[in-house]
Amino acid sequence: LAAIAFGSRIDFAAVETAGIARILAADIAQADSLGYVIRLIGMAEEDKTGDAPRLFQRVQPHLVPFDHPLAHVDGATNAVVAEGNYSGRLLFQGAGAGDGPTASAVVADLIDIARGDIGAPFSVPVAELESLAPAATGHRMGSAYIRMTVADRPGVLAEIAAAMRDAGVSIESLIQKGRSESQGVLLAIVPHEGPESAVTEALRLLEGSPSLTAPPLVMQILSD
């Protein structure tokens, strides 16, 4: 999709990836209480802030606002949202998995080949695709959902708040739940909008702290 949208060569190694294995039922409930659903989002953006354009690509679970079109994509349905300078937001939605949709796509391709109706797979010949360097993510502005499992003892919140302060992260909301299955306390933090690098720095400052009983989980919040 990034190759089609931006005429760029495919570079799988440049795609930031994270799966859904670490998401808990508590994260889903917490997202719901905050006005979001959790969706696995593939995202690509062209960054033209430097001397040469760069391409940002990410596949990670995100918190999606209830009123965003991707919040209502369920089951085997897939959806693609494209944002154009003049076209605005475009939504393409349809069956994305299952025996019927897959067979239909394969047969359609075979019919095109049999008819000799073969075009460039990325709208232009592969040899003409441009190699775009990966874009740095630290400067990207946004908010995130940060879930920590922490020890149930005095001073933990103060330590976390100090790390956030030192990294320049401003906390918008902080929700503390009871003990989880791992006998830790679940702590959910949503910072105000800021650079992603600030959250990364805050977690670096907390790395190795005995206050954290499990690695933190960070999910970006998809903007409207």
Least-confidence region, from 44-58, 70-84, 130-144, 168-182: 168-182
Structure tokens given for 216: 């933190």
Q: What is the pLDDT of residues 90-123, one digit of tens each?
A: 999 988 778 888 899 899 999 999 999 888 888 8
- In terms of pTM, does the model score above 0.75? yes
pLDDT band at residue 77, thresholds of 50, 70 and 90? confident
The pLDDT assigned to 179 comes to 64
The DSSP code sequence of 84-121 is ETTTEEEEEEEE-SSHHHHHHHHHHHHHHHHHT----T
Yes or no: say if 40 and 60 are a contact pair by the CB < 8 Å rule.
yes
Nearest to 138 by CA among 66, 202, 205, 214: 202
pLDDT band at residue 177, thresholds of 50, 70 and 90? confident
pLDDT for 180 beyond 60: no
pLDDT band at residue 43, thresholds of 50, 70 and 90? very high
Q: If residue 6 lies in a helix (H) or strand (E), which one and from where to where?
A: helix 2-6
The pLDDT assigned to 105 comes to 87
Rounded to whole angstroms, the Cα distance separating 84 from 91 reads: 11
Distances (CA, A) of 72 to 64, 82, 93: 10, 16, 11
pLDDT > 90: percent of the chain: 68
